[in-house]
Amino acid sequence: MKVLQLGVGAIGTVVARHLAGHRAVESLTLGDMDTTRADRLARELKGRVSVERADAADPQALARVIKGHGLVVSAVLPKYNEAIMKATLAAGADLLDLSAGGDDQLAHDAEWKKAGRTALHGMGEDPGISNVFARWAADRLDVVEAIRVRDGEYSSSEEFPLACLFSTETFIEEAVSPATLFENGQWKTIPAFSNREVYPFPEPVGPQVIYNMSHEEVDTLPRYIGKGVRFVDFKLAVPDDMQKYLVLLDRIGMTRRDTVRVRGGEVTPLSVLAAVLPQPADLGGRIQGAAIILVEVDGTKGGRKVRHVLYAPMTHDEAFRRMQVTATAFLTGTGAAAGAIALITGKVKTRGVIPPESLEADPILAILEELGVTTHRTENAL
Amino acid sequence: MKVLQLGVGAIGTVVARHLAGHRAVESLTLGDMDTTRADRLARELKGRVSVERADAADPQALARVIKGHGLVVSAVLPKYNEAIMKATLAAGADLLDLSAGGDDQLAHDAEWKKAGRTALHGMGEDPGISNVFARWAADRLDVVEAIRVRDGEYSSSEEFPLACLFSTETFIEEAVSPATLFENGQWKTIPAFSNREVYPFPEPVGPQVIYNMSHEEVDTLPRYIGKGVRFVDFKLAVPDDMQKYLVLLDRIGMTRRDTVRVRGGEVTPLSVLAAVLPQPADLGGRIQGAAIILVEVDGTKGGRKVRHVLYAPMTHDEAFRRMQVTATAFLTGTGAAAGAIALITGKVKTRGVIPPESLEADPILAILEELGVTTHRTENAL
């Protein structure tokens, strides 16, 4: 199959390294607004790789670029999701994107079903691997009671007192905005930095302070996992120092998403903050720490209460050795690549717009393993 | 005498309230780029007050506005000092400004002497009242050993986690830049936030954490006080929380004075930070705390070692009751007004460009008293 990948940031680089030269990928086209990085990457990759200028904001021009490709992998900012969905459907290809773009992409399900096409939506590390972990455990339970998603990524660095491991603006907005959880069968909104706890992640991560966040899994798992699930939450590691900094930056107004007047011009404070902080793509090899995605699923099987725990850890050092990126970029890009390979190799039979928990879990875990991400699983009586 | 005042921010408002209707002020012209606030202020003031549009950055146009005035009081940003000096000298008036503008204004002394004009440079609270305090004590000593200037202003507020009591950009730049002190007869540069100590300010301020800063007094007092002074330093109160915030903002790059690219435009991070923080002019009545300027002068008199301590405190509440401003704005504007009244009433005989320690101290302290700032003085054997 011919694959078009949009965006070659840190995550896009990981996706492209996995897809280029893969036995099921006939050719890989790298599309970006600015083709400089795509050209450089294309020269390094094996297999048939070409570069095209592509504007994710222009569905008509984009549909022309897509024509002839069987799959579009979108590794650009999620705000372009809607435009890319439209162009991909028009061009008659399948689609994979990595996270939610504000609108509800899943609402386009009927349209895509009718066209006999699949859009796998929100397939990275989390959402992505996390949803597949939840599906794997749910398939082994009669009743699902609770799903707890824990992202334990952390970093330390003398050089960067405040380093965000993925899109700086997205991370900060996520962290300082109200969080959501699904409790007693209902969605709830709670204040930012709610329900602080120290979670004992397995090595090489260890104990991390985590907080509830608003995240895709909280939105989709209650709707797609079924089996009576009554509780879903997502918690992210935010070290105490970083939390204090973010609270301060938020309180003084530096996380504002509206514009302020500065010397006759207008500017968004959050975008200026993101511009002075290190770019996530530049952090590879310059920070210590690790990433981990872990999912706990509680439920009953044959009348017994059990807990499944699945997790995939990686140190930033290891990710840098493998692909010159952080572990966060590695896990996110590898999650997307696993989804893409499942689509390319015909392992996804469901048509329509689907979240990753709609995938059959075992084939995805096998592909992840092949791509270098090992899943650890435990099952214990509760 | 006809007086032209440039700038009607918080400090300019205080200066204008003191000068308008003063027996020695024939008329007061308020000059500003934007005349909205000046018009509003003029309507409130007694005496002959008029408003003129004045561009502090344009010496030729400014000289035309100055013509006919005997004194120019500049309460605009110090970066305009040089242009205003040039225009004032050309128009044949005296001048008072409030702080240093980067260039060495005192270097123009010969020119002003030759023209028979006086420019009183750096006359606010500190520099200003602080220098006059140092002069007062030095006049009572045979040998001056050390001068320690301590600014104990502080504020607390639930609404504003980070509030700067004077020009936000100037304060932050001052706080995060290397500090200076004069030690063993030599100027030294030391890192920002050096020599932390808890200083026991008198009531209503009480103990405050203070640090060395780079400040005008450290530059001028060793040159103009004479009497063998070997040590001069300036320390400013920076509460622990504020210090942590400033160190963070500096480390992550939000205090940068160069430009960064943000979405195709260019912007200076520090100016964006200043734009999201509360404007000092808006803090009156909305913060608790106080301001105080205190000077310790150690020396010998008739062979005895003595220490003079002079200080002037004011709570933000009291300043708000009097003039709807903070105590910092009140003390700074009142220092400038006292200098202006000394110039207007012929109490300053020295020609040229002079720092406030070149003034005779007693008449200034008497004017300050008349304007509502009481000086406390102690003298103790060491």
Type of residue numbered B29 = T
**In this complex, do B271 and A260 lie within 8 Å of one another by their Cβ atoms?**
no
**In this complex, do A260 and B272 lie within 8 Å of one another by their Cβ atoms?**
yes
Min Cα separation B269/chain A (Å): 7
Q: What is the pLDDT of residues B221-278, one digit of tens each?
A: 999 999 999 999 999 999 998 999 999 999 999 999 999 999 878 999 999 999 999 9
What is the C-alpha to C-alpha distance for residues B141 and B307, in angstroms, rounded to an integer?
A: 10
Instruction: State yes or no: pLDDT of B102 exceeds 90.
Output: no
Min Cα separation B272/chain A (Å): 6
Instruction: State yes or no: pLDDT of A1 exceeds 80.
Output: yes
Closest chain B residue to the Cα of A275, Cα to Cα: B262
Please classify residue B212 by burial: count the beta carbons closer than 10 Å to its beta carbon, then call 0-12 exposed, 13-18 middle and 19+ buried.
Answer: buried
Per-residue pLDDT, B167: 83
Shortest CA distance to B18 belongs to which of B40, B47, B57? B47
Beta bridge partners of B94: B71
Whether the ω angle into residue A355 lies within 30 degrees of 0, i.e. cis, is no
Closest chain B residue to the Cα of A163, Cα to Cα: B252
Shortest CA distance to B255 belongs to which of A151, A91, A276, A367? A276
B253, B265, B271 ranked by CB distance to A276: nearest:
B253
What is the C-alpha to C-alpha distance for residues B43 and B46, in angstroms, rounded to an integer?
A: 8
Per-residue pLDDT, B165: 87
Min Cα separation B227/chain A (Å): 46
A245, A252, A269 ranked by CB distance to B162: nearest:
A252
| pLDDT-derived band at B280, boundaries 50, 70, 90 | confident
| pLDDT-derived band at A257, boundaries 50, 70, 90 | very high
Give the distance, in angstroms, between the CA of residue B151 and the centroid of all CA atoms in the same chain: 11
Give the distance, in angstroms, between the CA of residue B303 and the centroid of all CA atoms in the same chain: 35
Which has the higher per-residue pLDDT, A28 or B169?
A28
Q: What is the pLDDT of residues A281-320, one digit of tens each?
A: 888 889 999 999 999 999 999 999 999 999 999 999 999 9
What is the C-alpha to C-alpha distance for residues B328 and B6, in angstroms, rounded to an integer?
A: 19
Domains of chain A, residue spans: 2-124+335-362, 129-328+374-381
Which has the higher per-residue pLDDT, B102 or A100?
A100
Shortest CA distance to A248 belongs to which of B128, B245, B88? B245
Structure tokens at A51: 């570069």
What is the C-alpha to C-alpha distance for residues B279 and B354, in angstroms, rounded to an integer?
A: 31
Which has the higher per-residue pLDDT, B57 or B176?
B176
* Residue B357 DSSP label: G
Per-residue pLDDT, A47: 85
Helix or strand run (H / E) with residue B249:
helix B240-251
Chain B residues whose C-beta is within 8 A of a chain A C-beta are: 161-162, 245, 248, 251-254, 256, 260-263, 265, 267-269, 271-273, 275-277
B162, B245, B272 ranked by CB distance to A269: nearest:
B272
Q: What is the pLDDT of residues A31-67, one digit of tens each?
A: 998 899 999 999 999 889 999 999 988 889 999 999 9
List the CATH code of the domain at B129-328+374-381. Answer: 3.30.360.10
- Residues on chain A touching B162 (C-beta within 8 angstroms): 248, 251-252
- Residues on chain A touching B262 (C-beta within 8 angstroms): 267-268, 271-272, 275
> Which of B243, B244, B254, B256 to probe the A interface (max A CBs under 10 A)?
B254
Q: What is the pLDDT of residues B109-156, one digit of tens each?
A: 999 999 999 999 999 999 999 999 999 999 999 999 999 999 999 998
**In this complex, do B260 and A269 lie within 8 Å of one another by their Cβ atoms?**
no
**In this complex, do B277 and A252 lie within 8 Å of one another by their Cβ atoms?**
yes
**In this complex, do B269 and A272 lie within 8 Å of one another by their Cβ atoms?**
yes
What is the C-alpha to C-alpha distance for residues B235 and B223, in angstroms, rounded to an integer?
A: 19
Query: What is the secondary structure of A204-269 as a DSSP string?
Result: TT-EEEEEE---HHHHHHHHHT-TT--EEEEEEE--HHHHHHHHHHHHTTTT--S-EEETTEEE-H
Closest chain B residue to the Cα of A263, Cα to Cα: B271
What is the C-alpha to C-alpha distance for residues A144 and B192, in angstroms, rounded to an integer?
A: 57
Greatest mean pLDDT among A191-200, A236-245, A274-283, B51-60: A191-200
B245, B252, B263 ranked by CB distance to A276: nearest:
B252
Q: Where are the alpha helices (DSSP H) in A95-157?
A: 109-114, 129-138
Closest chain A residue to the Cα of B269, Cα to Cα: A272
Instruction: State yes or no: pLDDT of A102 exceeds 80.
Output: no
Shortest CA distance to B192 belongs to which of B218, B162, B166, B212? B212
List the CATH code of the domain at A2-124+335-362. Answer: 3.40.50.720
| pLDDT-derived band at A21, boundaries 50, 70, 90 | confident
Per-residue pLDDT, B170: 87
Beta bridge partners of B187: B182
Per-residue pLDDT, B313: 97
Per-residue pLDDT, B158: 84
Type of residue numbered B275 = A
Q: What is the pLDDT of residues A127-164, one digit of tens each?
A: 999 999 999 999 999 999 999 999 999 998 888 888 88
**In this complex, do A248 and B161 lie within 8 Å of one another by their Cβ atoms?**
yes
Per-residue pLDDT, A157: 86
How many Cβ atoms sit within 10 Å of the Cβ of residue A110?
10
Structure tokens at B56: 């502090």
> Which of A160, A262, A277 to probe the B interface (max B CBs under 10 A)?
A262
- Residues on chain B touching A269 (C-beta within 8 angstroms): 272, 275-276
| pLDDT-derived band at A165, boundaries 50, 70, 90 | confident
Per-residue pLDDT, A101: 81
What is the widest separation between alpha-carbon atoms in chain B?
Answer: 69
Beta bridge partners of A311: A294, A376
Pick from A250-264, A320-334, B59-73, B349-363: least confident: A250-264
Helix or strand run (H / E) with residue B380:
strand B376-381
**In this complex, do B248 and A248 lie within 8 Å of one another by their Cβ atoms?**
yes
* φ/ψ (deg, to 5) at A350: -70, 135
Beta bridge partners of A306: A299, A381
* φ/ψ (deg, to 5) at A232: -140, 130
Min Cα separation B290/chain A (Å): 22
What is the percent of chain A with per-residue pLDDT over 70, rounded to a whole number? 100
Per-residue pLDDT, B329: 95
Please classify residue A204 by burial: count the beta carbons closer than 10 Å to its beta carbon, then call 0-12 exposed, 13-18 middle and 19+ buried.
Answer: middle
**In this complex, do B276 and A263 lie within 8 Å of one another by their Cβ atoms?**
no
What is the C-alpha to C-alpha distance for residues A125 and A308, in angstroms, rounded to an integer?
A: 19
Per-residue pLDDT, A264: 78
* Residue B368 DSSP label: H
Long-range pairs, A47-53, Cβ under 8 A, ≥24: A47/A20, A47/A21, A47/A22, A49/A16, A49/A20, A52/A4
Query: What is the secondary structure of B100-124 as a DSSP string?
Result: --SS-GGGGHHHHHHHT-EEE-S-B
Min Cα separation A204/chain B (Å): 27
Query: Is residue A276 within 8 Å of A5, Cβ to Cβ?
Result: no
- Residues on chain A touching B265 (C-beta within 8 angstroms): 265, 267
Contacting residues for A17 by C-beta, under 8 A, at least 6 apart: A45, A323, A333
Greatest mean pLDDT among A254-263, B33-42, B120-129, B284-293: B120-129
Min Cα separation A161/chain B (Å): 7
Per-residue pLDDT, B156: 86
**What's the average model confidence in pLDDT over A332-343?**
98
Q: What is the pLDDT of residues A183-219, one digit of tens each?
A: 999 999 999 999 999 999 999 999 999 999 999 999 9
Q: Where are the alpha helices (DSSP H) in B10-139?
A: 10-19, 36-44, 59-66, 81-91, 109-115, 129-138
- Residues on chain A touching B275 (C-beta within 8 angstroms): 260-262, 269
> Which of A242, A247, A252 to probe the B interface (max B CBs under 10 A)?
A252
Cα distances from B173 to residues A311, B192, B214, B255, in angstroms, run 47, 10, 10, 7
Structure tokens at B134: 């140092």
Task: Count interface pairs A-B at CB distance under 8 A.
Answer: 71
What is the C-alpha to C-alpha distance for residues A229 and A224, in angstroms, rounded to an integer?
A: 10
Shortest CA distance to A30 belongs to which of A44, A18, A16? A16
CATH 3.30.70.260 fits B2-125+335-358, yes or no: no
Q: What is the pLDDT of residues B153-189, one digit of tens each?
A: 999 888 888 888 888 888 999 999 999 999 999 999 9
Per-residue pLDDT, B115: 97
A162, A253, A269 ranked by CB distance to B252: nearest:
A162
Per-residue pLDDT, A167: 83
> Which of B251, B255, B262 to probe the A interface (max A CBs under 10 A)?
B262
- Residues on chain B touching A261 (C-beta within 8 angstroms): 275
What is the C-alpha to C-alpha distance for residues B62 and B39, in angstroms, rounded to an integer?
A: 19
